[in-house]
Amino acid sequence: MERSAPWVAFGVCVLAAGGVWLYRAGHPSGVSGGDAREIVQEAWTRGRRVALSGEQLTSVGGAKEPLKTHVLYSRSGSMRIEYQTEPLKGVTIWENGGRTYRYNPRMKRLTVAQRRSTPEDQARQERQLLENYTPKIVGTALIADRKATVIELRSKNHADRLKRVWIDPQTSVVLGSEDLEGHTLLRSTKFTRVEFLPSGKEPAESEFQPSDDLVAKYGTARPGDTSTRFEPEQLSKLVGFTVREPKSVPKGYVLQGAYQLPCLCGKRHQAARLEYSDGLNTLSLFECGHPECTAAVTRPKKARSPLAFSLIKDHFYFLAVGDAPREDMEKIVRSAAE
């Protein structure tokens, strides 16, 4: 027995080390107090009220290379996003006091729109997010030279849908965000540099609105960017056809509202957009039931997009756009068309 003692000690140590590792994996070090749920809630409350300036890299469909952006946020919630690389070089978004300006120099257009969501809408979406997604701390990682807590939000209804966020434990600012479907990255934005601005160095409010010259030269309110929300029945009277609500929507999604917009076909009649959300992802269902609508008889040259599914039935045009799996979009469209 004495001679085999080192081997017995080895076995005991392997078991103990495995236990220690598993414990550490389940309780990452360096994570500030509170659970994942609290950290996420802090991110969308306290984290949105931090003045900062920073550089980000964003990957989206339609851009071959990650886009470089400069962002500026104030303590009051105002923000400015400046895109610095093609194809969006010069595009700038300003938001202050509930008004959003979007300037695109290539199109020589500055659109102005009211921010649609109210604090009540925000609160409802936050509740929905926590009902439909399970947040979990998965570790810590260095991002923009800061050690961030990494949290994964997994959909309870769609196993392959996942959002990963990097949250700064000191300020609760979201330093990075990834949206994934399975192993496929849908969108990603991460800070490469961030500077938190103390009270004395806060940017002036003028930083969060376009110059008067720019507004005078290019300013326009684009039809369809309206903030007015309707119930589907109310909207039916406005658009001149009966807006059809789908009988089946993906689990967890709830109707947020119905909006009026100029029809996608470019004619002068009005169409409808029904907006559904599960708290994190949004689904839009476009409908046009005007007999003269050419969207209902149009076949686009370039067709397939993983973001969209459309159907024409009896000159009624349906188009679902969103992050939802394609089969879910097909389901929502077909159930509306029935």
Partner 1 sequence: MDCTRVRDLLADYSVRILDGRTHQLVEGHLQLCADCKEELRVMDSVMLLVEEHGTLAPPPGLFNAVRNQIEAGQVTRQRPAWWAIFLTTPARVAAMGMAMGAVALGLLMPTTPTSLPTTLDPHLPIAGQVASGELSSSIRQHAMAATEGPLADRVAWEAMAQIAAQQPDENVDKKPGKERRVE
Residue 281 near residue 324, CB atoms below 8 Å: yes
| Residue 255 binds to partner 1 (criterion: CB under 8 A) | no
Q: Give CA–CA dist 218/104, Å, rounded.
A: 9
Q: Report the SS3 class of residue 207.
A: helix
Site for partner 1 in 182-211 (CB under 8 A): 184-190
Phi, psi for residue 126 in degrees, rounded to 5: -65, -40
Would you say 21 or 251 has its CB closer to partner 1? 21
The least distance separating partner 1 from the CB of residue 244, rounded to whole angstroms, comes to 15
Binding window for partner 1 (CB under 8 A); candidates: 105-113, 202-210, 213-221, 231-239: 105-113
Binding window for partner 1 (CB under 8 A); candidates: 137-145, 199-207, 208-216, 246-254: 137-145
Binding window for partner 1 (CB under 8 A); candidates: 198-206, 234-242, 243-251, 316-324: 316-324
Count of residues touching partner 1 (by CB under 8 A): 118
Binding window for partner 1 (CB under 8 A); candidates: 21-29, 207-215, 233-241, 243-251: 21-29
Binding window for partner 1 (CB under 8 A); candidates: 161-169, 201-209, 211-219, 234-242: 161-169
Residue 208 carries which DSSP code?
G
Pairing of β 109-114 and β 219-220: parallel
Site for partner 1 in 28-47 (CB under 8 A): 28, 40, 43-44
Retrieve residue 242's tokens.
């009966």
Would you say 109 or 237 has its CB closer to partner 1? 109
Site for partner 1 in 57-96 (CB under 8 A): 57-63, 65-67, 69, 71, 79, 81, 83, 87-88, 91, 93
The least distance separating partner 1 from the CB of residue 234, rounded to whole angstroms, comes to 19
Q: Positive or negative, the Cα torsion across 98, 99, 104, 107?
A: positive
- Select the residue interacting with partner 1 from 46, 106, 217, 251 (CB under 8 A): 106
Q: Positive or negative, the Cα torsion across 311, 314, 317, 318?
A: negative
Name the one residue in this structure whose structure tokens are 């039809």: 223
Q: Report the SS3 class of residue 316.
A: strand
Pairing of β 99-104 and β 219-220: unpaired
Binding window for partner 1 (CB under 8 A); candidates: 175-183, 205-213, 233-241, 247-255: 175-183
- List own/partner pairs for 135-140 with CB under 8 A and 24 or more apart: 135/36, 135/37, 135/39, 135/40, 136/36, 137/28, 137/31, 137/35, 137/36, 137/39, 138/28, 138/164, 139/28, 140/28, 140/29, 140/30, 140/31
Give the per-residue contact string, 206-245, with partner 1 (x = CB under 8 A; - = no). Answer: ------------------xx--------------------
The least distance separating partner 1 from the CB of residue 277, rounded to whole angstroms, comes to 7
Would you say 240 or 306 has its CB closer to partner 1? 306
- Select the residue interacting with partner 1 from 269, 311, 325, 335 (CB under 8 A): 311
Phi, psi for residue 167 in degrees, rounded to 5: -115, 130
